[in-house]
Amino acid sequence: MESVRLSQFEDLPDELLLLICSYLNQIEVLICFSSLNIRLTKTITEYTKQIDFNRIPLKLINYFRNEIFPKICSDVQSIILHDDLESRSIGLEIFPNLESIHFLNKFSSKYLRNTKQIQIDLVPADLQNELMEKLFSSNEYSNLQSLSFISYHGSTFSNIKLAKLNQIQQLTITLKNNVDLFELLHLFSSIVQKLHIHILYNGPFKSLTSSLLTLTKLRYFHLKTTFEDAIKFNQLEKLINDSMSLLEYLSIETLTRDENYINGYKWEKCFEKLNQLKTFVCSIRYRCKVNEEIDDQDLIEEKLFKSFSTKFWLYQRKWFIHFYSTVLLITNDNCFVNSFQRNAYRKIFLFTNPYPYKNMDITVDINKMKSTITNYNDISMMYDQKNIYSNVRHLYFDGEHIPIQVKHFNELLHQFQLLTELKLDRLFIDSSLQSSDQIKLRYLNKLIIYHNYEKYPLDINFLDLTSMYNLRYIRIPQASLPHHRQIPKQLETLILTECRDHLFVHTLRYENLRILKLHLDYFDRLLENMGESILHLIKTIYNANQTLESLHLMCPGVNQSKVKIFEKRFNSNNNEYLTAHFDGKSLTIKRLEEFFRRSQS
């Protein structure tokens, strides 16, 4: 009798193995499959190219140092570093093929390397000028080709001297105002090929020289402005036509009161000299004052619609736009649901098809959206409308406290199937009609709830959290926190706002929780009696949760002297593997790596 060979896990085709991996996070994939055999190691190569250090739990960091990284070090091309650099300290020299370093929330020059790509999302103010001189002109970073330099208040070139420039081909940078824009363009006029500019503040729009500025290599230009009217349309038009005539890709994100930005005829004229332009994308938020006597929304929208429905837009370029308008609403203090008053301003949201950016802000009025595609006689374009929001990963929804039914909210979110981050602000779910519908967002990683209305705390049972296998971060008002059985088991970060009491026993049931942040409304009270209540809270939470790495007690406006006394007393006592640090805004209690080493031994 012939023996029958049983199928084994490694007999599965690569496609099925990768499908299984899609239900796991990167850390789980590396732990499960990186040390089994050569074939499986090759199959998961995509999971080894980029390593996010903060995704590695502190209890596993030693295992990764000794077991995982030595096996995959040659495959690692990119690393992401977060806040807690010290506790996850790893020598980057073990990665011989490293090409990209991304500092997500905290920067340390200790980890800078001469790589092809460097991304700094929060440039320290005291190091800004020094870093600009190093990265832009130092031989130490001669390999640098792509740089992202994001600072909270924007960069300026007025106080630095650059002897020469590195060959940076792609630059993403935040600038203070328009003067800094011209300084930057003059510096990189013969070098840069792709520019992503974010101007943070208003300022004088003027060139520093009367000579014509020409960017000979620039092919890709993205401009984002935060303040209204940072750049007038005619100023932008002149800059593009005079200095960027070889552009192939133009991207505009702006908040403006200049009506020309939502005039298709004006844009068409702007593009006349751009013979190489292949792609134009935009997201424009236009704000205008409402004159209640002569205001005609239909007339405004008809004018806009017509200007973007010419032969140029629909047939020559096939650039279609979507838009909707909203009147800002404010609630009457005496009545939350039924009585609203008109604000003095109207907003029009306009964007190209498909929406081109990762981040998107919307209001409830997006359901009233209109599109120029309806004027285009091609049925295939109609089918493409399912992909309007295929680029959106981070969505901010402002409900304006206007009641919305679960069914309608579900239909709205269903258009954003690839979301990884969802922020809900002033959301008011109409519970007058019962609904069994629950919203499922498979790829959601981060959920944030803002501005809970005290009289009507938001019940988030309309979200099927347990089906969201990638959800690892939740920020929510304490009153809206659902039963622990409705919280996904893989939750790693929980931030509770508007904490009215100090009963957090439910958080101890989250078996994978690593970070807990509590916004306490009564911190000064807890400092009484030598801080006994805070000490009890800390020990209760840590004693019951063996995976927790850090507890952040957010306390802005607290008596700092009292907190510093508590910090000093806490660190001087023998609190097992815990250390306290107060930074003026929060008291952070961290668990040392030695705790996890001892637990594993």
| CA 138 to each of CA 380, 525, 584: distance values in angstroms, whole numbers, following the listed order | 52, 53, 36
**Rounded CA separation 465/485 (Å):** 10
Is the confidence at residue 570, as pLDDT, over 50?
yes
192-196 long-range contacts (CB < 8 A, ≥24 apart) are 192/168, 192/217, 192/218, 193/169, 193/217, 193/218, 193/219, 193/220, 194/169, 194/170, 194/218, 194/219, 194/220, 194/221, 195/170, 195/171, 195/220, 195/221, 195/222, 196/148, 196/171, 196/172, 196/222, 196/224
Q: Give the pLDDT confidence score for residue 2 in this predicted structure.
A: 60
Number of Cβ within a 10 Å radius of residue 293: 5
Least confident segment among 179-188, 348-357, 371-380, 583-592: 371-380
Q: Give the pLDDT confidence score for residue 340 in this predicted structure.
A: 36
Q: What is the pLDDT of residues 275-284, one digit of tens each?
A: 999 999 999 9
Tokens of 429: 């779910």
Q: Give the pLDDT confidence score for residue 552 in this predicted structure.
A: 94
Q: Which among 399, 273, 270, 268 is positioned nearest to 321, based on CA atoms? A: 268
Q: What is the pLDDT of residues 233-266, one digit of tens each?
A: 998 999 999 999 999 999 999 999 999 999 999 9
**Rounded CA separation 169/240 (Å):** 19
Q: What is the pLDDT of residues 195-205, one digit of tens each?
A: 999 999 877 66
**Rounded CA separation 67/57 (Å):** 15
Is the confidence at residue 353, as pLDDT, over 60?
yes
Least confident segment among 119-128, 131-140, 285-294, 388-397: 285-294
Residue 349's pLDDT band (cuts 50, 70, 90): very high
Specify the amino acid at residue 146.
Answer: S
Is the confidence at residue 431, as pLDDT, over 60?
yes
Mean pLDDT over the full length of the chain:
85
Percentage of residues in the chain having pLDDT higher than 70? 87
Q: Give the pLDDT confidence score for residue 510 in this predicted structure.
A: 82
Q: Give the pLDDT confidence score for residue 337 in this predicted structure.
A: 39
**Rounded CA separation 253/360 (Å):** 11
**Rounded CA separation 399/326 (Å):** 12
| Beta-bridge mates of residue 294 | none
Domain boundaries, the chain: 24-93, 359-369+387-504, 512-598
Whether the pTM exceeds 0.85: the reply is yes
Q: What is the pLDDT of residues 441-495, one digit of tens each?
A: 989 999 999 976 666 778 888 899 988 988 999 999 988 888 777 888 889 999 9
**Rounded CA separation 27/52 (Å):** 9
Is the confidence at residue 351, as pLDDT, over 70?
yes
Q: What is the pLDDT of residues 526-540, one digit of tens each?
A: 888 888 888 888 888
Span 74-95, average pLDDT: 83
Is the confidence at residue 182, as pLDDT, over 90?
no
| Beta-bridge mates of residue 518 | 496, 553
> 3-class DSSP state for residue 153?
coil
Least confident segment among 7-11, 226-230, 285-289: 7-11
Tokens of 225: 């402005």
Q: Give the pLDDT confidence score for residue 104 in this predicted structure.
A: 87
Is the confidence at residue 338, as pLDDT, over 50?
no
Q: Give the pLDDT confidence score for residue 469 in this predicted structure.
A: 87
Is the confidence at residue 333, as pLDDT, over 50?
no
Q: Give the pLDDT confidence score for residue 331 in this predicted structure.
A: 46
Residue 339's pLDDT band (cuts 50, 70, 90): very low
Span 361-386, average pLDDT: 75
Residue 33 vs residue 350, higher pLDDT? 350
Tokens of 31: 């732990």
**Residue 234 parent element (H or E):** helix 233-243
Least confident segment among 272-276, 435-439, 445-449, 590-594: 435-439
Per the CB < 8 A criterion, the answer to whether 440 and 467 are in contact is: yes
| CA 470 to each of CA 135, 163, 377, 473, 488: distance values in angstroms, whole numbers, following the listed order | 36, 48, 40, 9, 9
Number of Cβ within a 10 Å radius of residue 89: 14
